[in-house]
Each structure stands twice: as C-alpha cells, then as structure tokens.
Structure 1
C-alpha cells in the first residue's frame, strides 16, 4: 500500500516536471521559430525607423538601455539586499525587529509592478527631480527585485555550517571579519547566481519603467540621467499599438536570448562552485 502511494507521488512529480519542461521548450521554440529567421545584423545594431516608429530599423538603443537599466537595478538591489540579510543574520538580536523586516520585505514582494512604476514616477521622477531617466527606472526596478535577492541571500547564509561561525567567534573574530573573510568567500558564487537571476527578472519587466525611464524612441543614453529605450517596453509598444507583429517577434527573440544568456551564466557559476 505504501509503495503504491509513493508511486503515485513519483508519477505526479515526473509528470509535473515534464509538463513544465515541455511548456518552456514550446514557448522558446515558438518565439524563435517566429522571429529568429528574420533577425539580421542591421536589426541588432540599428535604431528604430519607419512610420509608425518601429516598422523598420532595429533595436540597438533598446538593447543598450535594457543593459543599463538592469545593471543599475542589480547594483542597487544587491547592495541593499545583502546589507539587510547580513543585519538580520548577524546583528539583529531582537525578534520583533527581525519579524518586522521580514514583513516589509514580503510586502514589497507583493506590490504589483505597475504600482512600483507609479511610485517611482511620483517619488523619484517628480519629488526627487530625477526626471525620466535611466537612474529613476533602474532604482524602481531595483526595488522590484530587492525582495527576490534578500530572501535568497538569507537562505544562502543559513546554509553555512554554524560551526564555522561559532569557531570564528570563539577565536575572538568580529562579526564583520567573520562575514567578509569566512562567510562571503563560501557564499559568493551562490550570491552571484542569485543576482544574475534577479537581473533576468529586471531585464524582462516593462511596467516599472513605463513611467520612470523608458521612452518610445531615444538614442543610446550618454549618462544615467538620460531616458532610454528598453526591449520589454519596445515590445509592448510594437504589440499594443499594432505596429508590426514581425518586429515584435524579432524583439522578443533578442530579449529571450539575453535572458537565456543570463541563465547560462547562473549555471556556469553553479558549476564553477561545485568544481571548487
């Protein structure tokens, strides 16, 4: 009887895994089959052209803009998330404060991305007078991915053998020394993998930058206070305005390729960690 129950659970797990893998492969193959054959050198390295804008030309400014948005978001979110995680795990001795921090992090994770975009516009663009810019858009994306990074870094630190930490304290080492010299080298590859996954989440988000940093047409940004194009926003415009479904598929292929590349980086980081 027990074996039959276990068999049912195993079949359920295998079937669920196959369904997920099948759906992912179907989505990727469908997007690539629709747009990969039309992608050219000019499409990758040219700017949008035509009337309406986007009927012709390429997406190079959007690729560069997406990279800058993602870089700013990843740096900002990682800096704050690592600090919060380290505080909770090493310095916070008050359970009420720890619970409050976790409630705040979980609440931020539950905020719809479009509302984050509205907050970014109201606070960053208008109140702080950053304007529609890479900085405003990147910071808004950073707020979006902050909970993703913070929760996972806490779990990564939790997985470190407590004996290492206690031994360091027993030898008179400070908490900062213990983290920087012992914990960080052990967790670094996992942390980088988490940040890379969060970067993929930021790169594919359109709603937070619609009001804060993304524009329909802009050259390659010269500084962080310049507005910029972004691949997900450009894709949204192409489909939402009915400009060109072919260009939309080509743009989706480029975006999907970049996201797959980020995931490959995560895999290599994990493999490198295991080899070490």
Structure 2
C-alpha cells in the first residue's frame, strides 16, 4: 500500500518554554488542541527561590530552549511562560531570544500578551496582584507603569517558591483578588504563570466585578490569535472578545 501523510498532525503549532519547576502552564494550555493547535513544550532550567537574580539567570537559555521545540520545523508562535522573568530580563530581550531560536514564530510573553489583553479590554487603570514578595513585585509594577498603565493598587502574597505559588487554592486566589482590587480599577491583572487563575477567571470576575486577566489567560489568548483561532477557549471576558 501507499502510505499517505498529512502535511502536519494538526493545522497549527505552538511552542511553550516553561520553567523546570512549572506545574501549571501545560495544564492551562490543554484547552487548545481541540481547536487544531498542537502544543509542544520544553523546559528551561530554573532554581528557586524566585528573586530578580534567579530570574535573570534564565536569560541565556531562552534561545536554546525555543530551538529545541520541533527542530527544523516552523511554529506559529512560541510562549515563554514566566511573567517575572520577562520583566527582569526585559520583555524585548526575551522576545528577541525566542526569535533567535525560532525565526518566524510570533514571540509571546505574559507581559506582552498581558499588555495587549488589557488594551483590548479598554483598561488602562488596573490593579496588579502577584504571588511574589515585594522585591520581585516592585519591578513588575514599574514595568506596568512604564507601559502606560495607571496602577490603582498593587498587592503581593509574599511567596518565594513557584511550586508553592502553584498550590494556592482557588478559594484563596478569589479572596486575594477581592481584597486587592481598588476603586476605579478597570481590570485586575493576576501575575505569575504558576498561579492557577486561568481556569477560574469567571469566578474571580464575579467576585471583583471587573474584567480579570491572568498571566496564562493572556498568553493563551494571544497564542490562539497568533494561530488564527478566536473564541471562548477559557473563562473570562477577555476570551469573549470578538
């Protein structure tokens, strides 16, 4: 018989560069394959605690990690799944490192996707909630302000191990969001790809009364659109945008 091959197993290819310690990103992105997007992940070295120094140490590994995903084959997009490292290393540098490893792929970070998502929602006055300590939260707050967002409030939960951040209960995330949101905020941004917020965005939005964007909901939204897929891939007002 003659074996007939499809051009590729799925119409679109998305690469994920996740931290060695990540428990959450691949689970959140499991929503995409039914939409014709193959999700292909690799890991990048990381050692806790989460500090500006340990985050910056990943800078030299991003290009190599991106290049490891389906070598010599094109990807529609590559997501680097670390919010705080995107800030500490520099968002432009991270996306440049992705492009060096996978030329032609859309380079997506939680910061670039988060900014785009908030703007798509028409939100420029926001509350920022992070699971980090103050030392790691401060550069992120400065990054949002430099991006043109007016921070109505900044809250952090004081954790320094991303494995603990992945264990924050859904109820605790909702309550932290409720406590964090300040009057006048047009949206809440929940930082950190380890935090399990993407699957419960609707619960958080019901609690706080404004749109909510998490690190993973933003990158999922941006990655799907880079692949030409729109629609409600996950809960939340962001996913319902045209």
Normalising by structure 2, report the TM-score. 0.31
Larger strand fraction of residues? 2
Larger helix fraction of residues? 1
Normalising by structure 1, report the TM-score. 0.28
